Amino acid sequence: LYLTQVVMRLHELSFPQEEEEQEKRYYVRLTCYGNYKIQIIKIIREITGFGLKQSKEFVESVPANIPFDTNTNAIDIENAQKVVNKLKERGATVELIPFDERKTS
């Protein structure tokens, strides 16, 4: 049993969790739409595929996690960062929230 624990620990040390970071998923939470509400509504339409009314209602309901076309509404860090940057360019306040699969089970 002890040898198994040592081997597992060596494995953890040998393979840093960088790969795990890459695979981590995030919620993108719109907390404030700022001064450019119409532009934010357009971006939400583009991202979600919502119609105009649904996008407007979503933006007006902040703070809220942006619903992506996934089972969990969480996306990988690369795409999440693109969405965050796009919204921040228009003055929105946005945050990334790590998705924890253990909490959804």
Domain total in the chain: 1
Confidence of residue 16 (pLDDT cuts 50, 70, 90): low
Question: How do residues 25-79 score in pLDDT, each as one tens digit?
Answer: 999 999 999 999 999 999 999 999 999 999 999 999 999 999 987 788 999 999 9
In a domain, residue 15? The reply is: no
Which run of H or of E encompasses 26? strand 25-32
In a domain, residue 45? The reply is: yes
CATH classification of the domain holding 60: 3.30.1390.10
d(CA 33, CA 55): 12
Model-level pTM?
A: 0.73
Whether the per-residue pLDDT at 105 is higher than 60: the answer is no
In a domain, residue 72? The reply is: yes
